[in-house]
Amino acid sequence: MVMTREDAVAGAIGPYERFCDGYGNPGASGLGYLTLMKLDIGESPLEEMDATLAEIVSYDSAETTGTYLGQINAVTASSFCGPNGLLWGYDIAPVPEIADGSLLPIFFKTRKDGVEIPVYSLEPLLQAGQKLLGLSDRRRFPPIPGARVTCALKSHAVKGPNSLWAALAVAIAEDRSQNAHLFIEDVGEAIPAADEAARQFFLDRLMEKIALSILYCGDNSQVKYKEIFMGYKTAWIEEGYMGCALASVPYLVLARQAVPPGGPATLLSLSLPEWEKAVGLHP
């Protein structure tokens, strides 16, 4: 049996009213799940802590900076969103500029069959994730504290003075009945800083390399991707601090109060702003 998008979203509702939960935990409405994109950098002072403790605190800071993903037991997974999974801001509660085609590509990558794949900024999907989970001081529907949450995840910690970066991408499969979206996470340090041109060249090349890695992964499984969304964040970590770059895609089921009055299936047609209005949130 092929799972439809309606089946997936109907099966992606968790047991808690105000909290999302990790996919695969008891109490969900079915076999569906949702994924969202998080890309943030945190830091911690080194004073009065050893390197291990500072790394722990900087990682926790990255989880709680920007889109709030704090207080979870993250379980690292490989990086796919299958036919029973839905990407928040794309498959459900779509971002308007993605749904209406007004988002412009930043570059193109050519598949083996000669088809040019548009590559778009990840920023609208990052903002969509934040609209669902909220911020540390303005939480919406974050995972329930202590939840076991599977995440496509990579992190990298570094002592300052140094630069730090994290990158994240999602490739959208052409045939969603048979194949999965692909997530790519990459992290690192020491961005060339001779001048702004050298820095930008490094980051532009990073985006090109990630796009190439996506095509290679598609070739490995004979999967064709029709479009890619990708982005990066960078930070300078001062001396006396530990920084942590985090690229993460949690696999979740929705809080019950995040479901519009019309039921789960309405998430397939409501835009992200319409969803906010339907569940009583202010942009």
Active site residues: 185
Question: How far is residue 269's CA from residue 181's CA, in Å, rounded to a whole number?
Answer: 20
What does the H/E/C string look like for 58-89?
HHHHHHHCCCCCCCCEEEEECCEECCCEEEEC
Query: Which positions ≥6 away from 223 have C-beta within 8 Å?
Result: 173, 174, 179, 180, 182, 217
Whether residue 161 is preceded by a cis peptide bond, meaning omega within 30 degrees of 0, is yes
User: Quick one: 106 exposed, middle or buried, by C-beta within 10 A (0-12, 13-18, 19+)?
Assistant: middle
138 touches 144 (CB < 8 A): no
> Is 60 part of any known ligand binding site?
yes
> Is 78 part of any known ligand binding site?
yes
User: Per DSSP, which regions of the chain are E strands?
Assistant: 21-22, 33-35, 38-45, 73-77, 80-81, 85-87, 107-110, 116-121, 134-135, 138-139, 148-159, 162-173, 181-189, 225-237, 241-253
23 touches 150 (CB < 8 A): yes
Token pair recorded at residue 32:
């569906």
8 touches 181 (CB < 8 A): no
Binding site residue list: 60, 78
Binding site residue list for substrate: 60, 78
